[in-house]
Amino acid sequence: MRTLLTIWAAKLAALALRLTGRAGTHVPGRIARRLHPGIIGAVRHPARVVAVTGTNGKTTVSNLLAEALEAEGLRVASNRIGSNLAAGVAMTLIDALTWTGRSRADVAIIEMDERSARLILPGLKPDVLVCTNLTRDSIKRNAHPAYIAWLVSSAVAPSTHLVLNADDLIAASIGGDDNHRTFFAVDRQPGDGTTPSGAAVDVAICPVCDHPLSWDYWRFNHIGKAFCPNCGFRAPEAAYRAREVDAAAGQLTLDLAGDERRAHLINDNIVNVYNEIAVAAVLDQLAVPRDRIVAAFERIAPPTTRFASEQVGRTTIVRQLTKGLVGVACSRAFQYVAAFPGRKSVVLNIDEVSERTSNVENTAWTYDADYDYLASDEIEQIVVGGVRRYDQALRLAIAGVDPERIVTVVDEISAAEAVEVDGMAAVANLHSVHNAVITGTPVQNRLRDRLGGSAS
């Protein structure tokens, strides 16, 4: 009865919020957890539950999985528009129930904040848990990624099947002896090195003998295929691999446990290559036929608030999530933008305080990010907007960006007016998570207007 009353209270709260034009996800979930702290485990779950976590990529992977499974005709419960904390997960499960407590969904795809694992996993007990990666995040909130791996491991049920990134030794370590593990990876690509560099490298020594690690290939932070020349330790072998990534053709080869299939490349950013093979691995574990897995990538794509690229005349507008407070994620966005050929300009709006006036993290995280990529001679101008614009400008100058190329503006959206667009091969619109809609979208629209394009 307590569970049923909690379901009713949460549904009524959500209904009231929607009638007032609000989303109705987080607050009803908080009410539900206040009335019944164990509500995540008390309600009926769909027949299959997949949880997706990781420092970067969890939103993209969970969205892609939900879209692919809906195309298979399944009824999917997912927190794509809600919170990935405990309250949002609780409300996602409640939304999928009838008023009598029966589940209306065939499968749940639950995006889970990795820091909240101990509040979510004991009740959720997912059939499958996907971990995209565990890299350096906000030190104030998350500490070292190995600590997050311990948090997740301490909360995951022995019955949960783990789908893990073999190229990330921290993520690959999640779980206990009873957990079944499936690994995914991306094969060596042109440009991969064998010597770690950059501002942040979180794994440098062998977890067995403490000898310095060597690398068959290294990409960024601690992502790559590591081995120990002293004791023979190696990164786990992956059953699912992305091979032969051809950005020009927009294709890659998916090795699905030995069955190679050519597929559409959803995005050529290495982070999204990992996301694609992770999605393929989960769909295969869920017994989706492999020809339909390949077909799914023809119609699904990362959310436009994460990535979008559009051609207006001779200029490409690149919209890229650049996750403030997370140096590794920013580095990947900077590297991706810098790789576009030709003259470029950048709108940089990764200020994390636009909506808050207190409890703000300091800017130490910017020194975990490789701003050096933006010092490319082909990037002719960087316009920085927002409250932290001078901190960002200083960090850019320290990284080697010519101060003459740095422009600061008070308002984030007005950066779209200040940036040079004429004659540019690409203009980058870099924004964070919190301002994706309030800043990223209007900046994108204004850049399009200035280039004489129309909304697609």
206 marked as part of a ligand binding site? yes
Q: CA angle 440-441-445, nearest 5°?
A: 120
Helix axis angle for 86-95 and 117-124, nearest 10°, is: 30
Q: Which tokens hold the place of 444?
A: 């994108």
Strand order of the sheet with strand 344-349?
307-312, 315-321, 426-431, 344-349, 379-385, 406-409
362 and 402 Cβ atoms separated by less than 8 Å: no
Strand order of the sheet with strand 251-256?
76-78, 107-111, 48-53, 128-131, 161-165, 181-186, 240-246, 251-256, 259-264
Token match 């600590």: residue?
A: 147
133 and 56 Cβ atoms separated by less than 8 Å: yes
209 marked as part of a ligand binding site? yes
231 marked as part of a ligand binding site? yes
Q: What are phi and psi of 204, to 5 degrees?
A: -130, -20
Q: Which tokens hold the place of 212?
A: 């310095």
Token match 């893990």: residue?
A: 164
**In terms of Cα–Cα distance, which of 445, 430, 271 is closest to 350?**
430
Annotated binding site for Zn(2+), which residues? Answer: 206, 209, 228, 231
Annotated binding site, which residues? Answer: 206, 209, 228, 231
